[in-house]
Amino acid sequence: MQKVCQEGGACAIKITSSYSAEILRASSIFKETVAIYRSAVTYCVSRINNDWADISTITKAKARFNYTEHLFHSTKANSAKYDFDRFFYKMPTYLRRAAISAALGAVASYRSNHSNWLKNGCKGKEPQLGAERLCMPCFYNKEMYLTGDTPYSAKLKLFVRGDWVWVPVHIKKTDADYLSKRFGGVKPSAPVLERRYGKYFLRFAYQEDV
C-alpha cells in the first residue's frame, strides 16, 4: 500500500492486490520451461558474483542492469563476455531479462548480507550464495502471455519439444469470473507462475487508486 498526496491536501492510496488463478490440466507442460528458467538464473548468479566488483560500482538500477545484460547477450554492437545465448538458445527476450534481474537481486542481497556479517565481527552463520534458485518465471504481456479467445483461456510462450512455442491453457472458471468481477477495468501486472500442491497457478497483481 502506498499513499500519494497532491497539492491542496488531496490524497490517493495505491493498493496492490494479487490473486492466483488455477490452470487446468497443466501437470507437466511447465516442467521444461521452469527448469530452463531456473538454470538460466543459476548460470547468471555465479557469473554476476564473479564480476560484482565492476557491477557494484554502477549505482543506478537501469544502468546496472544494462551493463549486466551486455555481459550475457550479444548484439551487433555488443559481444557478450559469457555464452548465455549459446546455452539458452532462442530464449525469449523478456524471460532472459527476468532471469538476469532475478540473479542481480540474489547477488546484491547476498553481498549486502555478507558485508553486514563482516561488520558485525563474523557473528552467527556466514551468509551463503546458494547455487540452486527455486524461482518461477514471469509471463510478460505480448511476448510471453496473450489473452485467449474466451475469458477462461490464455496463451503462454513455453519450451516444448526443443522450441519456444505458444501453448493454449485453460483457467479455472470460478477464478476467471472472480478476477473479472473484482478487478474489471484494472490492468494486471504480468502474471507469475506458481506451483502449489501439485497444481499450477498464474498470480496476477492489480494496483488500484483509492
Q: What's the pLDDT band for 12 if we cut at 50, 70, 90?
A: low
pLDDT at residue 94, as a whole number:
94
| Beta strands 145-147 and 153-160, pairing class | antiparallel
Amino acid identity at 126: E
Per-residue pLDDT tens over the stretch 111-127? 999 999 999 999 899 99
Task: Specify the pTM.
Answer: 0.87
pLDDT for 5 equals 60
Q: How does pLDDT run across 78-93, given as a tens digit for each residue?
A: 999 999 999 999 999 9
**Would you say residue 15 has pLDDT above 90?**
no
DSSP-assigned letter for residue 157: E
- Alpha carbon 96 to its chain's center: 9
Q: What count of Cα atoms within 13 Å lies in the side-chain half-sphere of residue 19?
A: 16
Q: How far apart are the first and last CA of the chain?
A: 10
Res 103 pLDDT > 60:
yes
| Length of the chain, in residues | 210
> Which pLDDT does position 84 carry in this prediction?
96
Task: Say how many C-beta atoms besides its own lie within 10 A of residue 191's C-beta.
Answer: 23
- What is the per-residue pLDDT across 165-203, written as a single tens digit (0 to 9) for each? 999 999 999 999 998 888 777 788 899 999 998 899 999
Q: Which domain holds residue 17?
A: 2-209
Tell me which amino acid residue 65 is. Answer: F
Q: Residue holding cell 493454449?
A: 168
Whole-number average pLDDT of the chain: 90
Average pLDDT over residues 47-54: 96
Predicted confidence (pLDDT) per residue in 65-78, tens digit:
999 999 999 999 99
The number of folded domains in the chain is 1
Residue 7: per-residue pLDDT: 59
* Strand ranges in 2-115 using DSSP code E only, listed in sequence order: 2-5, 11-24
Please give the pLDDT value at position 201: 95
Per-residue pLDDT averaged across 145-171, rounded? 93
pLDDT reported for residue 2: 56
